[in-house]
């Protein structure tokens, strides 16, 4: 199957491809309050549409069962007007040593927040530059996923990244409507809970309890205590 990047087109009933598979993978990782199970459906069929509508309903989006820019955003993928000017959509180009840009920044955040081993390999928060340390972290991820360890982020690695790394595609904070709810906020809360900073409900909504937990983690690691989840905070979010 030819690779179709997640975020490269509007998704709706009748479509198929790797982007639909990624969508299904993401929705299947959410609790029943936020999505509904998708099984035995290889294309964007009725079950996928129902799961998308439940996701949209839960997070206050237009409930049309269609995955456009707003739904992509709350699934952790910035597209269109949500992307910084001139930035490439994450997954839209291969990344390798020497690459730089917003998509490298996303890659680094995703890896760092997933596993401490990856964060240690990166050696520090995301800097948008794909150097030797980022290459080493990518190889570790590829090894864990059973992929060829070439240090190049191509279609197969991107597919695994979307399904197995759960945040890092955007800044998260309570005071910004485009940053305060969604798939990645749910996993932010889950990681904070695993680390012992968060005890409230895993609701995917960045409220006061999430802000307090983020600030506690930031204080513990002597980084800026602002309640905003960016590279420095993502770097310390891996539970193991």
Q: What's the rounded mean pLDDT across residues 49-62?
A: 98
Quote the pLDDT of residue 219: 98
Share of the chain above pLDDT 70, in %: 100
Q: How far apart are CA 98 and CA 66, in angstroms?
A: 36
Q: How far apart are CA 185 and CA 175, in angstroms?
A: 13
Quote the pLDDT of residue 113: 98
197 pLDDT more than 90: yes
pLDDT in tens, 103-141: 999 999 999 999 999 999 999 999 999 999 999 999 999
157 pLDDT more than 90: yes
Q: Domain 18-75: give its CATH code.
A: 1.10.101
3-state secondary structure of 57: helix
Contact present, 133 and 187 (Cβ < 8 Å): no
Domains 102-164 and 183-234 in one fold:
yes
Q: What's the rounded mean pLDDT across residues 51-74?
A: 98
**Domain 183-234: CATH architecture, name and number where available:** Orthogonal Bundle (1.10)
| pLDDT confidence band for 222 (50 / 70 / 90) | very high
Quote the pLDDT of residue 1: 74
Quote the pLDDT of residue 240: 85
pLDDT in tens, 66-102: 999 999 999 999 999 999 999 999 999 999 999 999 9
**Domain 102-164: CATH architecture, name and number where available:** Orthogonal Bundle (1.10)
Q: How far apart are CA 71 and CA 63, in angstroms?
A: 10
Quote the pLDDT of residue 92: 97
* Residue 114 token pair: 């997933």
Contact present, 125 and 238 (Cβ < 8 Å): no
For the chain, give every domain's residue range: 18-75, 102-164, 183-234
100 forms beta bridges with: 129
24 forms beta bridges with: none
Quote the pLDDT of residue 69: 98
């Amino acid at each position: 199957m030819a690779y179709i990047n997640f975020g490269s087109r509007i998704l709706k009933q009748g479509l198929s491809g790797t982007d639909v598979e990624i969508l299904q993978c993401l929705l299947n990782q959410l609790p029943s309050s936020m999505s509904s199970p998708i099984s035995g459906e290889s294309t964007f069929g009725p079950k996928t549409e129902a799961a998308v509508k439940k996701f949209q309903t839960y997070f206050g989006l237009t409930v049309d069962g269609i995955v456009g820019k707003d739904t992509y955003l709350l699934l952790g993928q910035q597209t269109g007007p949500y992307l910084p000017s001139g930035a490439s959509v994450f997954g839209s180009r291969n990344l390798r040593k020497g690459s730089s840009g917003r998509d490298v920044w996303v890659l680094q955040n995703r890896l760092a927040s997933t596993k401490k081993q990856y964060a240690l390999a990166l050696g520090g928060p995301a800097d948008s530059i794909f150097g030797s340390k980022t290459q080493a972290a990518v190889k570790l991820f590829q090894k864990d996923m059973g992929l060829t360890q070439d240090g190049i982020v191509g279609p197969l690695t991107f597919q695994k990244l979307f399904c197995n790394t759960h945040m890092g595609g955007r800044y998260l904070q309570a005071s910004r409507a485009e940053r305060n709810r969604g798939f990645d906020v749910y996993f932010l809360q889950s990681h904070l809970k695993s680390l012992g900073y968060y005890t409230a409900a895993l609701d995917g909504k960045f409220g006061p309890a999430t802000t307090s937990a983020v600030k506690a983690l930031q204080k513990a690691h002597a980084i800026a205590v602002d309640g905003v989840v960016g590279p420095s905070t993502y770097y310390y979010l891996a539970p193991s």
